[in-house]
Structure 1
Amino acid sequence: MGQSIEDFTIGVEEEYQIVNPETRELRQRAQRILRKAQATVGEDVTNELYLSQIEIGTPVCKTLGEVRAELVRLRSGVINAAQREGSRIVAAGTHPFSHWEDQAITPKPRYYGIAADFQQLAREQIIFGCHVHVGISDRELAIQVMNRALPWLAPLLALTGNSPFWLGMETGYSSYRTELFQRFPMAGTPHVLASRSEYDDLVTSLIETGSISEASKIYWDIRPSSHFETLEFRITDVCTSIDEAVMVAGLCRALVRTCYSHAERGLPIEYVRPELLRAAKWRASRYGLEGELIDVEARRAVPAAQLIKKFLEFLRPSLEETEEWDEIGTLVFETLDRGTGAKRQRDAYSQRGRFEDVVDLLIKETARDTES
């Protein structure tokens, strides 16, 4: 009955920026780089909405060691392909200064459809995220796990804020990507759903009203995948370092396993008002780890480190069972100590007030550990 540890598989998708090494601006070279990258690492590299973006998706992984190895392999393949073409690769939620007006859409019917439907919202979607899939074969339990995971999405976002700059401006946000993306009508944090049938009925209603064409057009922060037997976390910015990406994957799987156990045992859902969840998410996108976050269970603001430690303790039994406590705990505390990608970007900018220095830092950090 239920899933074994091995059944909670992991898949990670990362969206990257293509940049010009001279000007450090975004560059429309996805088609050229894609051909070169696929020749070495296969079909796990794909297009994204704009020609200045490129995406990787790991194969199904059973351990964090496999996740790390696949991220090294795929990042290396994309970085090397870009270098052979004369470009560089950056992993960050937004580009510090390139303008959306200068970006060309990828010439595919799916992307033309998004542009036609969403108009200005689509034109400004020069953003880059990380999506983590965790395997759940029981579609009913996937909904119950999603319900229970909602209170912990904001701490995940706070740990991964990596988009403080937009159009050459300091936004004041740790994850400005979050604010850009949640303007989409089908984005944001879902409400608690009573059952899989309620979710299916919602999808049917959205399709019948012409709001979406199919289930994959629901862009929630966490959602049941429409193509795989997984629960997909979509709330985080893409992480600059491989260590951070592994941290996110480990936290997401531990959260799924913990909530799955609670659902199987019939433990009640800790219901949180959607307005409070929205406030918690906004606080995480605004401040990251640099201020107070909202403990939605206690209904009060607390120092960010305090909430992150509470999150980690909530996941500890699962992490210990998979023998990942030491690795994930260490990575989380390292992030608390050195700060998020947003903080490191700001630190780089503060030295000389040059966004080019920020891009140079991101190029270096994105490629770090890819030669192992």
Structure 2
Amino acid sequence: MLVTVGVEEEFHVVDLNTRRLVDRGPELLSVLPDEGFTAELHRSMVETNTRPHRGIDQLRDEIVDLRLKLIEAAEPLGLGPIASGTAPLAAPTLGSTTPVPRYLDMTELYRQLSREQLVCSTQVHVYVPDRELAIAAMPFASPWLPLLLGLSASSPMWMGTDTGFASWRSMVWRRWPTSGPAGEYASAAEYDATAEALVRSGVISGPGMIYTDIRPSHHVPTLELRICDSCPDVEVVALIAALFRALVLHACAAAAAGRERPVVRRELIQAATWHAARWGLEGGLVDPLLAAVVPAEQALGGLADMLRPELESCGDWEMVGAGIARLLADGTSAARQRRAAAGRSWDPAAAVDQLLAETRSGCRSRSAAPDVEPVAERSA
């Protein structure tokens, strides 16, 4: 039986006339069904939640369905959702908190940090019913997560300027006190004791505020991926979901077999994450085993090869190979946004237009894409 996977997507809400971020998320949610849609920290965001699926095709279909419902509800209001790590046009004073106790408490505690969290992510949940195994598996998966960030990079702009990063969202996000690579724990009890200590310290209000790049969900039996930007292209979301599921299966098998954990220091994982945030795929990626920057094709091909047994068992091998090749040919969303903005002598509104179109289409037209061989096949 295939292990299920689900996705949470966060969207910025922009005004279709000005292309600027606006705090009208609650108004949009008021005309949407309760199931599948929810509020986020800021009123300028909305979130969608899929059901768990065994097949990536079925997951993709629900992601598209939720996006279409969101867009159809937004357009009569003069609004448009964009799936990107940051909104290219936003005011630094916008940060209007959604008025629910949890979010209001966060704003009171974290002040400017909370107000500036105008960022959106893609989160993937993979079913792992054994919590001990899920926690034991995290160190086996952690070294490879920066590669998934590189795939998702979609936030080059902040407040109308080019940050020089492919994922500025990552830089903003890493200011939270519990963000970054997950730690290593001898047991679920040790993990829970650490979470309790963090709550007692007053730094966080509950286990749901442990914001590491991978974590056991505090409310469902899953391992959760939290490192990725929100992605305008549904095909990239599907690719990340398939890779993360395979990585979780691979890590759980290694932990269950008692294999030695990979000797990749936390500092290197942090450096690899920074590198992926800075350059996306366009500047190569850090191979965690070589501890060196290599071409993105080599790093992603190596990851696919490592996960080939799991990808084949899930029926995802060919899809993943083709998806990686397509993304390498097209470039990241960050690169496409820069090209769009530069085409008008630096106009961030052009990047918003592109994000609106890509979020709407779900999957950009591939008619102009070169006929490329899947990277996983080339590297095999």
Same fold (TM over 0.5): yes
Which piece of structure 1 moves more, 310-319 or 132-141? 310-319
Q: Which amino acid aligns with 2:313?
A: E
Matching residue within 8, 13, 20 for 1:13:
8
AA aligned to 2:17 is E
Is residue 2:72 matched to residue 1:72? no
TM-score normalised to structure 1 length: 0.95
What residue ranges of structure 1 are gaps of 5+ in the alignment? none
Maintained 8 Å contact 2:96/2:115 = no
Query: Could you state the TM-score of these two structures normalised by the residue count of structure 2?
Result: 0.93
* Cα distance in 2 between the residues matched to 1:77 and 1:301: 41
2:358, 2:210 → 1: CA distance?
Answer: 32
- Give the aligned partner of residue 156 of structure 1: 148
| 1:190 corresponds to | 182
User: In the TM superposition, what is the alpha-carbon distance from 1:345 to its structure 2 partner?
Assistant: 0.4
After TM superposition, which residue ranges in structure 1, 4 or more long, deviate above 6 angstroms?
none
* Superposed CA offset, 1:140-168 (max 9, x none): 10012111001101111111100001011
* 2:23 and 2:94 in contact (8 A); partners too: no
Q: Which residue of 2 aligns with 1:29?
A: 24
Q: Which residue of 1 aligns with 2:226?
A: 234
Cα deviation digits, residues 307-359 of structure 1 (max 9, x gap): 11111111111111111111121111111111111011011011112111110
**CA deviation after TM superposition for structure 1 residue 82, in Å:** 0.3
Q: Tell me the distance in 1 between the aligned counterparts of 2:100 and 2:72.
A: 25
Give 1:90's aligned residue.
82
The 1-side partners of 2:75 and 2:335 are apart by: 27
Contact 2:10 2:83 in 1 (8 A): yes
When structure 1 is superposed on structure 2, of 346-355 and 175-184 the one drifting more is: 346-355
Trace 1:1-372 onto structure 2 (pairs within 5 A).
5-6=1-2, 8-38=3-33, 42-352=34-344, 353-369=346-362
- Aligned equivalents of 1:154, 1:341: Cα separation in 2: 16
User: Structure 2 CA distance, aligned partners of 1:366 and 1:295?
Assistant: 31
AA in 1 matched with 2:13:
I
- The number of residue pairs the alignment matches comes to 362
Comparing 120-129 with 210-219, which one deviates more in the overlay?
A: 210-219
Identity over aligned pairs, percent:
39
CA drift of 1:369 comes to 4.1
> Which stretch shows the higher mean deviation, 355-364 or 265-274?
265-274
Aligned CA distance change for structure 1 residues 84 and 302 (closer, same or farther; 3 Å): same
Q: Secondary structure of 1:25's match?
A: coil
The 1:240–1:369 alpha-carbon spacing in structure 2 relative to 1, beyond 3 Å, is closer
The Cα shift of 1:59 comes to 1.1
Deviations 1:199-229 (A, max 9, x none): 1111121122222222101111110000000
In 2, Cα distance between the equivalents of 1:300 and 1:93?
26
User: Per-residue deviation at 1:192?
Assistant: 2.0
